[in-house]
Each structure stands twice: as structure tokens, then as C-alpha cells.
Amino acid sequence: MPDTATPSVLFVCVHNAGRSQMAAAFLTHLAGDRVQVRSAGSAPADTVNPAVVEAMAEAGIDIRAEVPKVLTAEAVQASDVVITMGCGDTCPVFPGKRYLDWQLPDPAGQGVEAVRPIRDEIEARVRRLIDDIAAVGLPRTL
């Protein structure tokens, strides 16, 4: 059962193999246990994109052990903020949740050179998200 005193964020993309994995890893790295982080995909891949794993390792974050997860209504219901990255209408919507849509290129099939700018943009957005969550007064600030 989630700790309701801790803000929770769910990152969703189609395959949960790139963008949502990077966002979840950055938020976990930057906020630690001050936020509950989830990621999922509407059609999860079998593994995390190797170029994404390499790009995150360059940023000092090891996501080799991460596994793509399927998006569930329960994960959405348990989250305060849901950030979609290309999952479109497949993401369930519940009242009282804050929804954001981050338009970012899909790193699927791209090499690490193409993933780096996506990674850097995700890190910048996650840093702004931390400030934003604190400003909107979720149960505990980050």
C-alpha cells in the first residue's frame, strides 16, 4: 500500500523501455525517498533500450536491472501525478490526478548519440517537476 504522505509520480510511455525509464531513474536519483516513483508502458517491451541504459550510465545512473512494466489502472490510481510520453488515449484518466504530457522524441531504434539529447531534456524536465510538485503543495514537498 502506498505511503499517502509521500508524493507519487507515474511516468508512462508506450514501451516503458526509454523515456519513462529515464524519467523515473532521474526522479529517483534526484529526489530519493521523498517521492514514490513508478513507470509503466501501454505496450511494454521485453527489455529496456540498450542505448538508454548506456546514456543513463554516462549520467551516473545505472538502470541495467530495470524491466519494462505494464500500465495498470491501479498504478494510475495510486499516483498523484501522471506524466505521459506518447501513450495517447491508452492511459486511464481518474479524477483528482494531475496529468502532464511531455512531448519527447522516442529513442526506440536510436543510438546513444540520439538518446543523449532526449536524456538531457528529460533530466531538465524532472528537475522542474521537483520544483513544481513542491509549489503545488502535494502532501510532502520534495
Catalytic position from the list 27, 71, 76, 87: 87
Contact 12, 71 (CB under 8 A): yes
The three grid cell numbers given for residue 32, joined into one nine-digit string: 530519493
Catalytic position from the list 10, 13, 76, 133: 13
Catalytic position from the list 23, 55, 91, 129: 91
Is 91 a known active-site residue? yes
Is 34 a known active-site residue? no
Is 65 a known active-site residue? no
Buried b vs exposed e over 107-120: b needs ≥16 C-beta within 10 Å? bbebebeebbebbe
Give the catalytic positions in this structure: 13, 87, 91
